[in-house]
Amino acid sequence: MQWLQKMLFYMNGRYGYDEFSKFLIILGLIFGIISNFAGGLWVSAIGIAIIAFGVLRIVSKEKNNRYKELTKYLAIKHKIQHVYRKYNNRWVQRKAYKFVKCPNCKQKLRIPRGKKKLKVTCPSCKQSFIRKS
């Protein structure tokens, strides 16, 4: 248990492990794997640099700066997840619905497929227009 006590003593006052460090370490490992197949030395150097950054964040004493990085990372991650869910939903519903834009206010609308010409009334600006579905 000696090493654990040393480890805990060393980590005292340091930032510690978070989601962004986990992401960096996994990304670095992916770079390492890719470097085996393509790219070679440069790709593996980038991978090592990314892992080093992730590890340095864990043992850093500047908690405020690390926390700011985590906040930025989470904001970007949530944006990407939002876009992914949007397009994934459209992909899942592509056989039953068509996605069109209102010509007046550019609001995106979902109309059922297979109804030929459809009179669509925009729920946001109440304007009607004809669309093939």
Task: Summarize as ranges the residues that interact with Zn ion (CB under 5 A).
Answer: 102, 104-105, 107, 122, 124-125
**How near is the Cβ of 37 to Zn ion at its closest, in Å?**
50
Angle at 63 between CA 61 and CA 66, to 5 degrees: 110
Gap between the Cα atoms of 47 and 11, Å rounded: 25
Q: Residues 74, 77, 79, 85: what is their CA dihedral angle, to the nearest 10 degrees? A: -130
Nearer to Zn ion, 50 or 122 (CB): 122
Q: Which is nearer to Zn ion, 74 or 125 (CB)?
A: 125
Q: How far is the CB of 118 from Zn ion (least distance, A)?
A: 15
Smallest separation (angstroms) from Zn ion to the CB of 11: 56
Nearer to Zn ion, 36 or 127 (CB): 127
Tell me the closest approach of the beta carbon of residue 128 to Zn ion, in angstroms. Answer: 10
Give the C-alpha separation, 8 to 93, whole Å: 51
Calpha distance 38→86 (Å, rounded): 33
Q: Which is nearer to Zn ion, 60 or 107 (CB)?
A: 107
